[in-house]
């Protein structure tokens, strides 16, 4: 059995887009945040990002005492993690870099602090290879941008303690995230694999000339994407089964879907296809900058989260009859 310290101070290691977004979220949730990054312009870029993202993040989960003033920065990684209760690492996706970095963080941070990686594809069993205390290391992979999107994928490595998984799940849930526990390690985790599978078919349809880039985006965002912003596919198929629910869907509709899987395509990603997608995206963007489009995205996501919060079941409704937890 291992125990971890209560979290009051968070260290952010790596302050690119994901690290800066994580810093924003932790600050809005009332933590003291110390960030570190070796880039010479990192502190300026970080503070600019946090200031720009603050209002959107605050509209979702501002807590009393939260303040931009609780953000500090140092280029010295060891100093940044020396007094941390929780470390969120966001370095580039290079296995050899993360292995060495985690060993250094493990050596410099308090022994009862948790060290989480935002890695989108490298498994924790690889990252924790050279750690002296691998039992307190874990993947805490967010969906971009973390200060808006609640999802966090939590998965341990071969040497991660079960208590670490439990504590990380509880911690993320307590700060407004929606953590999911992956019981097995696999490259890319889960959410990225799901969206990669969808995008493969979208790109195939574009390559086959079935529709253009803008219409393929519309097909997702104005159709299934709207529903997925409310419920996941299994629960939606339960509704699709009518009065018979998921059982009726599996008995009568699922066989057709299984047959349709055989018709899904794998595109050949040629230079011509790349140019088609680039040209189509720029046309769809219609002159708006990446920052402008990101601001539009974040505003709509914040509004969607507010609507979802209004319709979340109360504790008694979630527990079901006689207060019993539902499966």
Distance CA(179)–CA(74), nearest Å, equals: 29
Distance from the first to the final alpha carbon of the chain: 27
Question: What pLDDT score was predicted for residue 314?
Answer: 61
- Helical ranges in the chain per DSSP H: 17-28, 42-61, 77-81, 95-108, 124-127, 162-174, 191-207, 213-221, 224-228, 233-240, 245-248, 254-261, 271-285, 290-311, 315-319
Low-confidence stretches of the chain (pLDDT beneath 50): 319-327
Question: What pLDDT score was predicted for residue 324?
Answer: 42
Token readout for 120 is 């989108």
The third-level CATH classification (topology) of the domain covering 9-181 is Rossmann fold (3.40.50)
Q: Are 38 and 75 in contact (CB under 8 A)?
A: yes
The dihedral built from the CA positions of residue 228, 232, 237 and 240, taken in this order, carries a sign that is negative
Helix (H) or strand (E) holding 140: strand 137-142
Distance CA(103)–CA(115), nearest Å, equals: 11
Distance CA(138)–CA(223), nearest Å, equals: 35
Residue 75 has a CB neighbour count (10 Å cut-off) of 13
Question: What pLDDT score was predicted for residue 312?
Answer: 81
Q: Are 164 and 2 in contact (CB under 8 A)?
A: yes
SS3 call for 300: helix
Question: What pLDDT score was predicted for residue 316?
Answer: 52
Q: Are 95 and 29 in contact (CB under 8 A)?
A: no
Global pTM reads 0.90
Q: Are 202 and 269 in contact (CB under 8 A)?
A: no
Distances (CA, A) of 277 to 122, 214, 260, 286: 28, 10, 25, 14
Strand 151-156 versus strand 178-181 pairing type: parallel
Where along the chain do its domains lie?
A: 9-181, 191-313
Backbone conformation region of residue 322, classed left if phi is above 0, alpha if psi is from -120 to 50, else beta: left
Q: What is the CATH number of domain 191-313?
A: 1.10.1040.10
Asked if domains 9-181 and 191-313 share a fold, the reply is no
Helix (H) or strand (E) holding 154: strand 151-156
């Amino acid at each position: 059995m291992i125990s971890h310290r209560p979290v009051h101070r968070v260290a952010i290691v790596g302050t690119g887009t994901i690290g800066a977004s994580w810093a924003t979220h932790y600050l809005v949730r009332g933590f003291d945040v110390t960030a570190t990054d070796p880039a010479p312009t990192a502190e300026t870029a970080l503070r600019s990002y946090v200031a720009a993202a603050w209002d959107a993040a605050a509209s979702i989960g501002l807590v009393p005492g939260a303040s931009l003033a609780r953000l500090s920065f140092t280029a010295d990684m060891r100093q940044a993690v020396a007094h941390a209760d929780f470390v969120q690492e966001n370095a580039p996706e290079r296995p050899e870099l993360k292995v060495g970095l985690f060993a250094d963080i493990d050596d410099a941070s308090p022994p009862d602090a948790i060290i989480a990686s935002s890695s989108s594809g490298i498994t924790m069993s690889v990252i924790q290879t050279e750690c002296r205390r691998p039992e307190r290391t874990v993947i805490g992979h967010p969906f971009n941008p973390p200060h808006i999107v609640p999802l966090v994928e939590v998965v341990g490595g071969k040497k991660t303690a079960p208590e670490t998984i439990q504590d990380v799940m509880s911690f993320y849930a307590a700060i407004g995230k929606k953590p999911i526990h992956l019981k097995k390690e696999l490259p890319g985790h889960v959410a990225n694999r799901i969206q990669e599978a969808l995008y493969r078919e979208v790109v195939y349809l574009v390559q086959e000339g079935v529709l253009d880039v803008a219409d393929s985006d519309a097909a997702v965002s104005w159709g299934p994407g709207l529903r997925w912003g409310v419920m996941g596919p299994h629960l939606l198929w339960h509704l699709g089964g009518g009065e018979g629910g998921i059982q009726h869907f599996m008995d009568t509709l699922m066989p057709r879907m299984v047959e349709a899987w055989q018709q899904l395509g794998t595109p050949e990603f040629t230079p011509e296809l790349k140019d088609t997608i680039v040209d189509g995206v720029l046309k769809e963007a219609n002159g708006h900058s990446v920052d402008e489009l990101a601001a539009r995205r974040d505003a709509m996501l914040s509004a969607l989260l507010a609507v979802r919060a209004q319709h979340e079941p109360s504790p008694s409704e979630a527990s079901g009859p006689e207060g019993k937890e539902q499966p």
